[in-house]
Structure 1
Amino acid sequence: MPSIGVNGTDIYYELRGTGPSVLFISGATGDAGHFDRVADLLADEFTVVTYDRRGNSRSPRPSGWEATSVPEQADDAAALLTALALAPAAVFGNSYGAITALDLLIRHPGVVRGALLHEITLFSVLENPGEAEAVVAPVVEAGMAAGGPQTAAEHFIRFAAGDDNWDRLDPDLRRRMASNGETLFGIEMGTFESYRPDDARLAGITTPAQVLVGQESPDYFHEAAAWLAARLGVEVVQTPGAHTPQWDRPEELVRTIRPLLRALS
């Protein structure tokens, strides 16, 4: 399994295809396998990089690592692209991964050719910032009571992506994702959602960026997407399905993003 030392930790990554480089950054549970099908479909035209975010799945939790930040996550992504000699790359970030990709645009523009920000969890900008938390908290609490962090991770993904999506995932991927419950709830959750770059930093972004949101996603994702798109001066692009079309509608998602990736190339 390929891994590389990045910012004091080992990052597991996978490479597919040839052509212009594209990095996919996953959301909650942080596993490269979130994008297996999408990466396979795009490998005919692009060099596709997927990776396990630090402390998730096959990227071991660093010794003494008790907190993270969006800049730390973005630093990892930037260092990975640089170490693999694939910068500048197009970047697709989903959910927490979209927050990371946004910070890449702000703080590491030299490694990013352009970014697609999908289902961004920029909940700090919502008119009612506690709306999403109020929905998620009971799900996590019930999972914790039923079996601790691993069970809570399963409950959370079932809530965010749907029971059918969870059940269809490869069993090894499900096992890895559930095993990341301690990282998700002990280190990540709450950190990403509180991230909010100021308008001046957003106005300073010169790298091409596009904001995407699922047609069937909850209103708070549409509100966050509209807020960000207005500040980046772009229109929101609708993607098929809801929060995780990479699992249940990968072919449709690829048809939507392939021309956008081509434009960034």
Structure 2
Amino acid sequence: MDTGMLDVPGARLHYEVRGSGPVLLVLLGGSTDPAMAAPLAGLLSDRYTVITYDRRGYSRSPLTEPFGDRPVERHADDALLLLEAAGPEPAHVFATHAGALIALDLLARHPERVRRLVAHEPPVYELLPDAERWRRMTEETLDLFAREGVGAAMRRMGEETGLSVPGPPAPGLPEWVRDMLTRMAANAEPNLRYELRGFSAFVPDAVALRGAPVVPAYGAQDQGTVFHRSTLAVAELLGTRAVELPGDHVGYLRDPGAFAEALHACLTP
């Protein structure tokens, strides 16, 4: 595995490169750390040049100026610069959760850079019939963040979405897992401060994305969840069908072998 830093406007991005072949950019979301995708990247590295990275303001990618507004677009611009640094050919993209919002914006504005996008469980709350509930959750979460801090805010969001930030690393875990969990705990703060409101209001550009090489996907174990419903809503908006991938919201980590094979099939139909 090779690592490096890429200077972009307002930040320095830590990235990791594994394998050889066509480029596959991996975009995770929320307060997650790209080390969560390391097992998947390792399994795909015999078929792809897999690039993972820390989003600006997260883990090992420090800001060099204030984050600013329009977080989806800022992150998509960063992803574009990573792809340009990787070479001139269009890349495959696997993106999950909020990373899928970033990737949808990247594809809409720069279609020449994306060969195929698998958008896994994008949380596009505005497309849901109960969108008002999710707007209210966002404002309540941010109010709690301002009044009581990160812990209370993340608990509120977890109550609604079913996701929660893991606690302190337990003794006996492998070192790379302990390091990842430590970084993830710190990432909750920039997730709330810079991203939550803008991400929660995001709606993909249906005009730009209809007919584009995008595969909305959901976890087989997530049927009925907000992420499953949102994926179906995105597929309907884009006039396409959602596909099922193994596992749940983090199926790529729980069973990376099965997920890698299913993802490869989506990327090379």
- Structure 2 equivalent of residue 246 of structure 1: 252
Shift of 1:226: 1.6
Q: Does 2:209 match 1:208?
A: no
Measure, in 1, the Cα distance between the counterparts of 2:183 and 2:88: 27
- Structure 2 equivalent of residue 230 of structure 1: 236
Give the alignment's TM-score, normalised by structure 2: 0.84
Given candidates 250, 261, 267, the residue that maps to 1:261 is 267
Question: What root-mean-square deviation, in Å, do the aligned CA atoms of Structure 1 and Structure 2 show?
Answer: 3.0
Q: Does 2:160 match 1:160?
A: no
Q: Any conservation in 1 of the 2:101–2:204 contact (CA below 8 Å)?
A: no
Measure, in 1, the Cα distance between the counterparts of 2:151 and 2:253: 20
Measure, in 2, the Cα distance between the counterparts of 1:33 and 1:144: 29
Q: Any conservation in 2 of the 1:124–1:193 contact (CA below 8 Å)?
A: yes
Measure, in 2, the Cα distance between the counterparts of 1:179 and 1:155: 17
Shift of 1:51: 0.4
Cα distance per residue 1:19-49 (max 9 Å; x no partner): 1110000101253212111101100111000
Measure, in 1, the Cα distance between the counterparts of 2:81 and 2:225: 34
CA separation of 1:114 and 1:198: change in aligned 2, threshold 3 A: closer
Measure, in 1, the Cα distance between the counterparts of 2:150 and 2:164: 18
Measure, in 2, the Cα distance between the counterparts of 1:109 and 1:9: 24
> One-letter code of the match for 1:20?
P
> One-letter code of the match for 1:211?
P
| 3-state DSSP of counterpart to 2:118 | strand
Given candidates 85, 89, 100, the residue that maps to 1:98 is 100
Could you list the runs of 5+ residues in structure 2 that have no partner in the other structure?
none
Shift of 1:176: 0.5
- Structure 1 equivalent of residue 74 of structure 2: 72
| 3-state DSSP of counterpart to 2:197 | coil
Superposed, which structure 2 residues align to 1:81-160 within 5 Å?
81-85=83-87, 87-132=89-134, 148-149=149-150, 159-160=162-163
Q: Any conservation in 1 of the 2:15–2:51 contact (CA below 8 Å)?
A: yes
Shift of 1:174: 0.5
> One-letter code of the match for 2:187?
N
Deviates more, 1:114-123 or 1:148-157: 148-157
- Structure 2 equivalent of residue 14 of structure 1: 16
Measure, in 2, the Cα distance between the counterparts of 1:145 and 1:26: 28
Give the alignment's TM-score, normalised by structure 1: 0.85
Shift of 1:155: 8.5
Shift of 1:135: 6.6
Q: Any conservation in 1 of the 2:220–2:245 contact (CA below 8 Å)?
A: yes
Deviates more, 1:209-218 or 1:40-49: 209-218
- Structure 1 equivalent of residue 190 of structure 2: 183
> One-letter code of the match for 1:180?
N
- Structure 2 equivalent of residue 192 of structure 1: 199
Measure, in 2, the Cα distance between the counterparts of 1:215 and 1:161: 20
| 3-state DSSP of counterpart to 1:11 | strand
Q: Any conservation in 1 of the 2:166–2:185 contact (CA below 8 Å)?
A: no
Shift of 1:160: 1.4
Measure, in 1, the Cα distance between the counterparts of 2:30 and 2:88: 25
Measure, in 2, the Cα distance between the counterparts of 1:117 and 1:171: 28
Could you list the runs of 5+ residues in structure 1 that have no partner in the other structure?
none
Cα distance per residue 1:103-149 (max 9 Å; x no partner): 11100111111100001011111101144466788888889888x43
Measure, in 1, the Cα distance between the counterparts of 2:32 and 2:54: 6
> One-letter code of the match for 2:185?
A
CA separation of 1:68 and 1:59: change in aligned 2, threshold 3 A: farther
Q: Any conservation in 2 of the 1:214–1:242 contact (CA below 8 Å)?
A: yes
> One-letter code of the match for 1:21?
V
